[in-house]
Amino acid sequence: MTGLIILIIRLLKILYTSSINDTRLALNDFKEVLAESRSRNNKTGEKLTNNQKRKLKSEIDSLECFIRYYELSEKLLAQFRVISPELYNEIDSIKDKNGISTDVYIKFVSTELLSLGQNALTIMCQKGHSKSSCFSEYGKHTVSVIVAAGIKALWLLAHEFGHIMYQVPHLAEYNEYYIRSYMQKSFRSNFIGHNDKDMSGEIAINFGRRYFQDYKKYRKSIKDGNKAPIASAK
Ligand SMILES: [Zn+2]
């Protein structure tokens, strides 16, 4: 069943895959099977062992968690678009060096899922003949971003967008720069990508600032002035 558990939010074009629907269907099926096995009027006559029930319950819990974070990701992305439409649109129209559109996939996850001290992660690699084309676990011409759904989630997303904004059109050169500047040396992990000559780091910081300015304007523009970004799953 884990094949169904693919959390994908396709940014901006918001082309959700069928996986979320499959997940919801699977959840309903699992709940029905569990309820049936516990029912005194068990129509199928099939009984689950206690161990099978435990496993089924655990699957149900993980599917519910998946759906919660999927829905949270959807809300956070929508909120980012309201607060900072320009940053959103810049990433929406990003192209690689060859002029090919690159899709950015975002997911917000529980803070425990990222390594200790890490709040966000962007994945983009080179593949094939073209050293200028990105790929991630979502395929060719894609970038993947994972952000901890904490209090600074949207600011972190803006920061990662800044890295992406520079790296996608400069993938080959940046990859060489990265190896030269950071590999074979030991740095604190939060320094990597941020030495004083790293354009990717510079734009990331700039995107963070721009988001913060947009957020201040957003706060000012709403009447009650108390709506903070959603930052946790219920
Ligand atoms: Zn950074």
3-state DSSP call for residue 107? Answer: strand
Neighbours of 91 (CB within 10 A): 26
**For 116-155, how does the pLDDT look when each residue is reduced to its tens digit (9 = 90+)?**
677 888 988 887 667 888 888 888 899 999 999 988 999 9
Reported in sequence order, the residue ranges of 38-138 that DSSP labels E, i.e. its strands, are 103-109, 120-123, 125-126, 134-136
pLDDT band at 160 (very low <50, low <70, confident <90, very high): very high
Element holding 92 (H helix, E strand): helix 85-92
Q: Give the mean pLDDT of 46-62.
A: 85
Which residues are near ligand 1, the ion (C-beta closer than 5 Å)? Answer: 193, 204
CA–CA separation, 85 vs 130, rounded Å?
31
Cα 198 to ligand 1 centroid, rounded to whole Å? 10
Q: How far apart are the two ends of the chain, measured CA to CA in Å? A: 24
Cα 117 to ligand 1 centroid, rounded to whole Å? 13
**For 90-110, how does the pLDDT look when each residue is reduced to its tens digit (9 = 90+)?**
999 999 999 999 999 999 988
Neighbours of 39 (CB within 10 A): 10
**For 198-220, how does the pLDDT look when each residue is reduced to its tens digit (9 = 90+)?**
999 999 999 999 999 999 999 98
Total residue count of the chain as it appears in this document: 234
Cα 51 to ligand 1 centroid, rounded to whole Å? 45
Cα 189 to ligand 1 centroid, rounded to whole Å? 10
